[in-house]
Amino acid sequence: MTASEVAGILAEIGRLAELVDPNPFRARAYAQAARALEGSDLDLARLAHADHLTSIPGIGPGIAQAIREMVTTGSASIHAELSAQIPAGLYAVLRVPGLGTKKVRTLREQLGIESLDDLERAAAEGQVAGLSGFGAKTEQKILQGIAFLRTTLGWRRYPDALATAVRLLEWLRGHPAVGAAEIVGGLRRRMEVVNAVELVAASGQPEQVLEAFAALGGVRPTRRVDRATFMLQDGLPAQLRCVPVERFVGITAWETGGEVHLQELSVRADACGLRLTADGVYQGAEPLPLPAESTLYEMLGLEYVPPELREGCGEVVAATGALPRLVKEEDLRGTFHCHTSYSDGTASVAEMAEAARARGWSYLGLADHSRSAGYAGGLSVAAVAKQHREIDAWNRANRGVHIFKGVESDILADGSLDYDDATLARFDYVVGSVHSGFGMSEREMTDRVIRAVRNARLTILAHPTGRLLLTRDAYAIDLRAVIDACAEHRVAVEINADPHRLDLDWRHVRYAAERGVLIPINPDAHSTRGLDNVAFGVNMARKGWLQAGQVLNTWTLEEVETYFADRKQNS
C-alpha cells in the first residue's frame, strides 16, 4: 500500500469522524496526517516495521496504529467502525454549499435526513426553515445547492477518469484477442471533466472481448450491437466499442469527436468522395482501411489535428496550413505558483527546488500565501524576510535551479494587495488571487480585480474565476473586461493547473493570447508531487491553441529574469 493510498483512507476517516465525533479536532488530526502523507514517497511498511511512524509530524500513536493495520491487512478497523455508522448518502449532503458538519448533524438528528433526496423533500416542504439555527434563506440556499450538485452527478475531473481509463486500456491491450485499443471521447480530447470513460478496441472476436470487458464490472452489462457498458464502482459508466480491425481507425476518430469537428470533417470528406460515419470511413459501399488517423486527415487535405483541438473552434479551416505548433510539456523550463511549508505546502524551499531540478527545470517561482490567508498560514512580513534569506542562500550556492521570490497576495475586497508597497517591492514578482468575498456582484468583482490589475506591482493574475470544478461555480466576473485590463497593464494571467481548478478556462485562453496576454502554466503545487499538475495545465494551453512562446514558463531563465526586472523598473 503506497503512502498516497494510506493518505486517502486517513482523509476518509477524517471526513467520517467529522460527522460522528463531537470533537472536531480528532477529525482534523486525521486530515492533517493524510496531508502529511499525500504526495510523499515514504515507505510506510518499512517505517511501521521499525516502529518509526510517529517520527512523521502529525502522526502519533493512534494514527500510527491505524497505518500499521493498513500496511499489513490493507484496511483499518477504525475506518470500518466509522463507515458502519454513516449512511453513504450523507456524504452528498455534506457537499451542499453552506452545510457543514454541525448543520448536517442537526438535520440528521432532527429530521432523520440521510441523503440528498431526503433533504430536498424536507426543504421543499419547509421543514428545514423551522429548525433552530436554520431559516428561510438557508432553506432556499440548500435547494439551490442541491440543484447545483445534481448537475455535477455523474461527472468526474480529468485525472480521476483518466486513471480509470488507463487501467482499462492496459487490460484491453493485454487481452489476447485485442489487436489495438484507444481511449476516445472527451477524455481523449482532454476535457477538464467527463461523464464517461469511453474506449474502442480492434478485434476479430468482439463477442469474447465484450463479454470479458463487461465481466470486469461484476454486474449485468448493457449490450448493444458492438458495445458493452458497465458502471464503475464510483458511478461513472465505462463503455467499450469493439470493432473490426480494418475500421478501427475511422471509428476511433468518430468516437473521439467532437460533434462540430466531425460535421466539418464530413463536409470535406464528401468533397473528396469519402463518407465519414459512425461505422468508419467509407469509399463508395466499401469501408476504407486506414493505417492511422493522420492518414485520414491527409486524405482530406488537412494537417493532423491533435484530439485536444477537435472542438469545432476553427481547427478544420486552420488545418489547411495554419495550425499552431502547440506548446508541449517538454517546453517548460520552470513554473511560478508553488507553496512551501512556510505557508500551507508540505515541502521545504530546498525540497521544492530539488524537485524542480529532478524535472529538468532551470527555475522555480515560490509564491506562498500572504498574511490575510491566515487559514493557510499566510506569511507575516517577518516570515517573508526569513524566506528570502533562505532563498538568497540557495541561489548563492548556485545549485542549478534558480528560485524566484514570489508571493500569492490576496486581492482584498477593495482591490488592494495584501502588503504595503515596500514589502511588495521586495519580491521578484507578485501573483494576485481572490480568496474571499465571493458573493459580490459581477460589477463589484470585476472592478475589484481590475483595480488589482492596475497595481503596477501585480505580475500574474491567479485563478481568475475562482471556480472549483464540480464543487463551486465561478464567481460572477466579466472575464473579457479583466483580460482586456491585463493586456493593457501587461499583467500575465495564469492557467492554474490544479485539476480542481483549470482556471483560466481553455475557452478563454485563446482570447487572452490574441490580446497579447502572457500565460504562465502554474501548478499551484502544495507538495513536490504537486509540481506534476503542470501536465494538466499544458492540456488546457493546447486546447486554447497556445504556442510555446505565449507561455511564460517556456522562456529561459535569463528571459524571465529580464522580464521580471523590466516589470519592476516600470512599476
Q: Tell how many helices (H) and how many strands (E) occur in the chain.
A: 24, 17
- Asked if 381 is part of the footprint of DNA (rule: CB under 7 A), the reply reads no
* CA 471 to chain CA mean position, Å: 12
Please give the Cα distance from 256 to 191 (Å, whole number). Answer: 11
To DNA, the closest distance from the beta carbon of 58 in angstroms equals 5
Task: Closer to DNA by CB, 316 or 384: give it.
Answer: 384
562: CB partners within 8 A, 6+ apart: none
Q: Record the cell numbers describing residue 530, joined without a space.
A: 504537486
Task: Closer to DNA by CB, 62 or 258: give it.
Answer: 62
Region from 57-65, 213-221, 240-248, 294-302 binding DNA, contact rule CB under 7 A: 57-65
To DNA, the closest distance from the beta carbon of 343 in angstroms equals 8
To DNA, the closest distance from the beta carbon of 99 in angstroms equals 5
DSSP letter, residue 112: -
Region from 2-10, 52-60, 272-280, 536-544 binding DNA, contact rule CB under 7 A: 52-60
Query: How distant, in Å, are the alpha carbons of 269, 296, 434 from that of 275?
Result: 6, 11, 50
- Asked if 398 is part of the footprint of DNA (rule: CB under 7 A), the reply reads no
- Asked if 25 is part of the footprint of DNA (rule: CB under 7 A), the reply reads yes
Task: Closer to DNA by CB, 53 or 401: give it.
Answer: 53
Interface pick for DNA out of 22, 23, 286, 325 (rule CB under 7 A): 23
Nearest to 85 by CA among 65, 114, 111, 62: 114
Interface pick for DNA out of 49, 50, 60, 218 (rule CB under 7 A): 60
Please give the Cα distance from 147 to 95 (Å, whole number). Answer: 12
- Asked if 312 is part of the footprint of DNA (rule: CB under 7 A), the reply reads no
Region from 126-134, 255-263, 278-286, 522-530 binding DNA, contact rule CB under 7 A: 126-134
Region from 28-36, 166-174, 415-423, 512-520 binding DNA, contact rule CB under 7 A: 28-36
Burial per residue of 523-550, b for 16 or more beta-carbon CB atoms within 10 angstroms, e otherwise: bbbbbbbbbbbbbbbbbbbbbbbbebeb
Site string for DNA, 127-146 (x = CB under 7 A): --x--xxxxxxxx-x-----
Nearest to 379 by CA among 405, 415, 414: 405
Interface pick for DNA out of 2, 101, 295, 341 (rule CB under 7 A): 101
Region from 59-67, 262-270, 349-357, 528-536 binding DNA, contact rule CB under 7 A: 59-67
To DNA, the closest distance from the beta carbon of 67 in angstroms equals 9
495: CB partners within 8 A, 6+ apart: 502, 503, 504, 506, 509, 519, 520, 521, 522, 537, 540, 541, 544
Amino acid present at 120: E
To DNA, the closest distance from the beta carbon of 424 in angstroms equals 20
To the nearest 10 degrees (0 to 180), the angle between helices 77-85 and 61-73 is 100
# binding residues, DNA (CB under 7 A) = 47
Maximal CA-CA distance, the chain: 76
Q: Following DSSP, what letter does each residue of 480-526 receive, concatenated?
A: HHHHHHHHHHT-EE-EE--TTT-BS-HHHHHHHHHTT----EE--BS
Please give the Cα distance from 186 to 308 (Å, whole number). Answer: 9
Site string for DNA, 197-236 (x = CB under 7 A): ----------------------------------------
To DNA, the closest distance from the beta carbon of 42 in angstroms equals 14
- Asked if 556 is part of the footprint of DNA (rule: CB under 7 A), the reply reads no
Interface pick for DNA out of 150, 420, 438, 565 (rule CB under 7 A): 438
Region from 92-100, 164-172, 444-452, 521-529 binding DNA, contact rule CB under 7 A: 92-100
Interface pick for DNA out of 2, 5, 15, 26 (rule CB under 7 A): 26
Please give the Cα distance from 337 to 430 (Å, whole number). Answer: 10
DSSP letter, residue 362: S
To DNA, the closest distance from the beta carbon of 179 in angstroms equals 48
Interface pick for DNA out of 6, 47, 111, 376 (rule CB under 7 A): 376
Query: How distant, in Å, are the alpha carbons of 167, 221, 382 from that of 8?
Result: 19, 29, 35
Region from 196-204, 291-299, 431-439, 493-501 binding DNA, contact rule CB under 7 A: 431-439
To DNA, the closest distance from the beta carbon of 267 in angstroms equals 45
- Asked if 52 is part of the footprint of DNA (rule: CB under 7 A), the reply reads no
- Asked if 103 is part of the footprint of DNA (rule: CB under 7 A), the reply reads yes
Strands (E), 315-401: 363-369
CB atoms within 10 A of CB 11: 18
- Asked if 451 is part of the footprint of DNA (rule: CB under 7 A), the reply reads no
- Asked if 99 is part of the footprint of DNA (rule: CB under 7 A), the reply reads yes
Region from 22-30, 222-230, 277-285, 383-391 binding DNA, contact rule CB under 7 A: 22-30
To DNA, the closest distance from the beta carbon of 472 in angstroms equals 5
Q: Record the cell numbers describing residue 126, joined without a space.
A: 419547509
Q: Record the cell numbers describing residue 122, joined without a space.
A: 424536507
Residue pair 476/445 in contact by the 8 Å Cβ criterion? yes
Region from 50-58, 243-251, 271-279, 345-353 binding DNA, contact rule CB under 7 A: 50-58
To DNA, the closest distance from the beta carbon of 485 in angstroms equals 22
Q: Record the cell numbers describing residue 382, joined without a space.
A: 517577518
Binding residues (CB under 7 A) for DNA: these are 23, 25-26, 28-30, 33, 54, 57-64, 78, 97-104, 129, 132-139, 141, 344, 374-377, 413, 435-439, 472
